[in-house]
Amino acid sequence: MGLALAAVTLQNGAYLSASLTGERVRAWNVFHYYIGSKYFAELSYYDLYAATLLADDQWQEKKRTSSKEVRNRLKRIKDFRKIKAARDQRDYQIKARPEIVADFDAELISPARLQQLGQDSRYLRRFMGFRSPGWPDCFKDLGYNPAPAWTVIGTPLANLIPTASPWFWFIANSDLPGYLLAFMLSWWAFGLRKTALMALWLSSFQINEARFTGGFLQYDWLVSVLCCIALYHRGRHGLAGLALSWGAMTRVFPGFLIAGIALQAMVAMLRDKSGTKAAATGLVAASRWQRVEASHRSFLSGFVLSCLVLFVGSHFTGGGLQTWPEWVDKIQRHSGTHAVTSNQRVGLGRMVIHKPQQGKFWAQAPGSRDERIAQGQPRKRLLQCIGLLLLLPALLRRRGIDALILPLFAVFLMVVLSRYYASTWAILFLLGTPNRAGPENPVARWAAPLAGATLLLMAAGFYPLDNRTTAYFMVNYLSYGMFTVLALGYLLQDLRDLRGRGRRRSQAAPLPPAPPAPPKRP
């Protein structure tokens, strides 16, 4: 606990102090999430940058046409006149500012709301400069991308608390209540030592450097995952499903964690215990659902029903029935280029971009963005197949929280994430924890030390490396190796247990013969 407090304080103390006093706002995050959700009804997923630059152009025009006295006063307010280019969110190409603004349909937003957008963006302007990373890079980012369910909370909060409000400090500290809730639930479920170890790792690894404070619900997905794991371990399976639904419906990748439980439920429903081939409809389908373990039924029911509520609610945040189709279109384009738009990415898709060059081992594949992605595709498919062939059978006999934790391998195989999303790996420290509720798990005491040692090696080995490209290739290779060994180890343990069970059955003493049945009366 002492080490955890030291790491948390040294990493976050100064940032937290500045955030609580209103002196610090993570402008990059708040610009996308606060303004993106506040004006989502007008701008959807495509026009955040264009509308902001149009509002700034009108501000520049106002200054030019004002009296000298007013102009001198307005010049002291920071603006975005130095932004010369931005990313078009429809084709992801970097274009000149006049072209971005000219392509924007100004009728999408009323003049009053556009003026308010200008005021909000100028308020955030003072919290970040123009050095790299700064505002020029921010306008070349990949835009506002959370799934529509995030707007169910984000849009009302952003419209309720204006930038000029003294309550705006809550926006920049909106993650703090979630951190406290997740810490207390983890302590309740797993004890202080494991909870402190997770906090120590989260605060000492570079992926979260200077990120935990100052943002607008930036780590709500991590709170969702930690609360789910803690509640499931304590036998609150329905509440665990409800907790995970938020992360799944707002960031998608946490939804992968249901894979193990869903796979086991499907196998249980398909297993034909009656020896008949009746169609799984009506009462037969209900009876098959009853074959699923009670804990799994409760978890999956809570998860699905909560996701359904969030899905319905997301259509009332301004986008209507086009909300999800627009997001799917946006996220497909986003995912297709995510591996090569930054060297600080986590996932197999980023790992296969590595291609050693003469005199530089830790080099990226040469060529354009599309060429680099294409070069890595054959190796990506091969490594995905190997990973899934190990993971899927290993999931079949996992019980308790191991069934929720091991699907992190599937996330790594299928999705390329921004670096801070790898914070979900903190739950790997909990592998092999004996169940407090539900069927007993075949305990793998080796799993948590293996995963924990790898995670700590990543954190310790990151800083001596020469640059971020090298460091994140190291992180990705260690991650693939760690997950592969975990899945293989679980699979070998299952095979050994099944062989031992068969040997014990063959060595068991034969049962005495049954007494003859009494003769039937005529």
Tens digits of residue pLDDT in 128-156: 999 888 999 999 998 999 999 999 999 99
Q: What is the mean pLDDT of residues 101-120?
A: 94
pLDDT of residue 381: 96
Task: State which amino acid sits at residue 311.
Answer: F
Q: Collapsing DSSP states into helix, strand and coil, what is residue 328? A: helix
Domain boundaries defined on the chain: 25-172, 319-504
pLDDT of residue 510: 62
d(CA 214, CA 19): 6
Q: What are phi and psi of 169, to 5 degrees?
A: -60, -25
d(CA 20, CA 17): 5
Q: Which residues contact 338 (CB under 8 A, 6 or more apart)?
A: 142, 345, 349, 416, 418
d(CA 36, CA 151): 9
pLDDT of residue 131: 86
Kindly report whether the global pTM for this prediction surpasses the value 0.85.
Answer: yes
DSSP 96: E
Per-residue burial over 84-122, b = 16 or more CB atoms within 10 Å of its CB, e = otherwise: ebbbbbeebeebebeebbeebeeebbeeebbebbbebbb
Instruction: Give percent of the chain with pLDDT exceeding 70.
Output: 91
Integer angstrom CA distances of residue 24 from 60, 161, 214:
26, 17, 6
Tens digits of residue pLDDT in 215-248: 999 999 999 999 999 999 999 999 999 999 999 9
| Residue where the block lists tokens 């040692």 | 453
Evaluate whether 227 touches 181 at the Cβ level (below 8 Å). yes
Q: What are phi and psi of 435, to 5 degrees?
A: -65, 140
Count other C-beta atoms under 10 Å from residue 21's C-beta: 9
Q: What is the mean pLDDT of residues 169-194?
A: 95
pLDDT above 60 (res 279):
no
Looking at the DSSP assignment, which residues form a beta bridge with residue 417? 346
pLDDT above 70 (res 470):
yes
Angle at 411 between CA 314 and CA 356, to 5 degrees: 130
pLDDT above 80 (res 439):
no
Tens digits of residue pLDDT in 356-400: 988 888 888 888 888 888 888 999 999 999 999 999 999 998 988
pLDDT band, residue 519 (cuts 50/70/90)? low
Task: State which amino acid sits at residue 457.
Answer: L
pLDDT band, residue 282 (cuts 50/70/90)? low
pLDDT of residue 40: 95
Instruction: Share the mean pLDDT of the chain.
Output: 89
